Each structure stands twice: as C-alpha cells, then as structure tokens.
Structure 1
Amino acid sequence: MVCFCFLVDQKRKIRRSKPVAGMCSRCRSGASVVDMITATRFCHVPFYWKSWKAIMCTFCGAILKSYR
C-alpha cells in the first residue's frame, strides 16, 4: 500500500527586525537581523513551526546568512 501526502505550503513570517551594519551582496542595499518563524502545512493542516534568526536584505528580501 502506498500513501502520498503533498506539501501544501511553507510560510515565513518576520517577528522582529533590527538594522545591522553592512550591505547586501546582491543589490548593495542595507541589511537587518530578523527573527523569523517558518510554518509548514501539509494538506492545509499546520503541524510544524520553527523559530530562527537570519540576516536579511531590506530591499530585495534575500537571506544572506541564517542562524538555525
């Protein structure tokens, strides 16, 4: 018997942000340290949340470094 479960979505939400000295290597804009939450849902049912910190560009939204 085979059972398939499909990943519906994975959302990232920013809880807090704080400016940091430095620039984005992609767009040369400012960067900030952010506290993020990743919520994963399978078949529209949320079942996993993870909190982590990252250095993120304020202009293009690229994650430059993550601290998991």
Structure 2
Amino acid sequence: MVCFCFLINQKRKVRQTKPVAGTCSRCGRGAQVADMETSTTFCRIPIHSTSWKAIICSTCGALLKSYR
C-alpha cells in the first residue's frame, strides 16, 4: 500500500512585535522581537498551528533568531 502526502500550504504570520536593542546583521537597521505563528493546511483544512517567538529585522524582514 502506497500513501502520498502533499503539503498544500504553510504560512508564517507575525502577530505582535516589540522593539529590541540591537541591529540586523544583514542591513544594519533596527530589530524587533515578534510573536510568530506557523499554520499548515492540507487540502484547505488547517491541521497544525504552532506559536513561537523570533527576532526579525524591521526593515528587510530577515529572521535573525528563533525561539521555539
């Protein structure tokens, strides 16, 4: 028996941000700590959601560090 499983969609969403001391290592601008949410859908049905914190750049949007 063979079962195929396809990942349809995985989205990252920023829920809330706060400024943090420090700068981005890529562009040199300010950084923010953000409450992030990742949601995975399979055949348009949400099956998994995860909340975590990350430090992101406020200008270029680069993910500098994540805390799961």
Same fold (TM over 0.5): yes
Q: How many residues align?
A: 68
TM-score, with length taken from structure 1: 0.94
Which secondary structure does the structure 2 equivalent of 1:7 belong to?
coil
**Aligned 8 A contact 1:19 1:32 in 2:** yes
TM-score, with length taken from structure 2: 0.94
Q: CA RMSD in A?
A: 0.8
Q: Which runs of 5+ in 2 are unaligned?
A: none
Q: Which runs of 5+ in 1 are unaligned?
A: none
Identity over aligned pairs, percent? 66
How big is the shift at 1:21?
0.8
**Aligned 8 A contact 1:8 1:43 in 2:** yes
